[in-house]
Structure 1
């Protein structure tokens, strides 16, 4: 039986996780910029509306939200609704509604999920038990890939002992500085 070396472990974990590494990196980049645009979905239609809302916010409950959705001809599964910062928001699978509480003016936005991008982002945000455990194993494997990669070169001027530790320290400073200054 072949002896397991750092190089073999590094290579095999890298091969096994290459798809997940690319997917997480790609969706992570998309999630970093989600405040500028919505990579997970794109708008099909935006329609202005005017609605007479109840004067008492306590009257805006589940039943009211369901009835308003029917009145607005939204044939979509409601996910949640809330009132925040003077705006009544309803979120559905493929539709969002925002209405100003004072004026009753609002907008219905219909969208579809962006193929591939939305699935990658779903994996990045998923919190189901089995996916969490798989992601934990993935995280541990990334640590192993990083450590074995640092230890693979044993001779010469580019070893971890001679050069790599300095670059690793500089790389570690970036997240530390970000945490300090944010």
Structure 2
């Protein structure tokens, strides 16, 4: 009687803990699943980049012919002026003449091609994809050691969820019935794939 009573009391606690850990894991599961899909299909993204989307925009300003003499001081001044008009506050990495009438200003993920005679500015750059860049940054552990603790905790939580899930339901739909068959199917998927693919 004692053993049966213990098993009876254990299952409700197991379900409650499984439920609560599952709720906590929702956000992390969403991040890892979405990022995993994005990275697995990296070749299907335009430009082959799941983190950024490329753009090109043309702006029109007053002629900048006063900078056409190639004087470096004038070039820097024009670069600062155009950047200010575009709301760019960070200093550029490089300012150089691509042609007598074209001044190029480069940042890490943005380049301005300035026609100093016509005042036309072609802006090329990359914008982070909404949420995906963050998800991929976390998934690939760009946060280094601090995020490693979170990722390890999440991995342990997944192990608990998978193991505890085996014992939550009794009878023919539980571990010793349909559950055993489905669990074996899940184990067989990677084993069969590795075997057919010839291994690592």
**What residue in structure 1 maps to residue 134 of structure 2?**
119
Q: CA deviation at 1:179?
A: 2.5
Matching residue of 2:51: 40
Give 1:9 deviation, angstroms: 1.3
Q: Distance in 2 between matches of 1:11 and 1:27?
A: 24
State the alpha-carbon separation in 1 of the partners of residues 178 and 105 from structure 2. Answer: 61
Q: Which has the higher helix share?
A: 2
Q: Partners of 2:180 and 2:28 in 1: how far apart?
A: 27
- Superposed CA deviations along residues 88-146 of structure 1, whole A, max 9, x for unmatched, are xxxxxx259xxxxxxxxxxxx62111121111111111241011121011001001011
The answer as to 2:180 corresponding to 1:149 is no
CA distance in 1 between counterparts of 2:54 and 2:105 reads 15
Corresponding residue SS for 1:160:
coil
1:33 Cα deviation after fit = 0.6
> Secondary structure of 1:153's partner?
coil
Partner of residue 135 from structure 1, selected from 143, 151, 170: 151
Could you tell me how far apart the structure 2 residues matched to 1:123 and 1:74 are? 31
Alignment partners' CA distance in 1, 2:94 and 2:149: 38
Query: Can you give the 5+ residue segments of structure 2 that lack an aligned partner in the other structure?
Result: 1-9, 58-92, 99-103, 112-123
Q: Does 1:175 align with 2:190?
A: yes
Secondary structure of 2:173's partner?
Answer: coil
Aligned length: 132
What stretches of structure 1 move > 6 A for 4+ residues in a row?
none
> How far 1:25 moved relative to its partner?
0.8
Distance in 1, Cα, partners of 2:187 & 2:52: 34
Aligned with 2:192: secondary structure? helix
**Of the two, which has the highest radius of gyration?**
2
Question: Please, what TM-score do these two structures have when normalized by structure 1?
Answer: 0.63
Alpha-carbon distance in 2 for matches of 1:162, 1:74? 67
Question: Which whole-Å CA distance do the structure 1 matches of 2:32 and 2:181 have between them?
Answer: 27
TM-score, length of structure 2 as denominator length: 0.58
Structure 1's unaligned 5+ residue stretches are 47-67, 78-93, 97-108
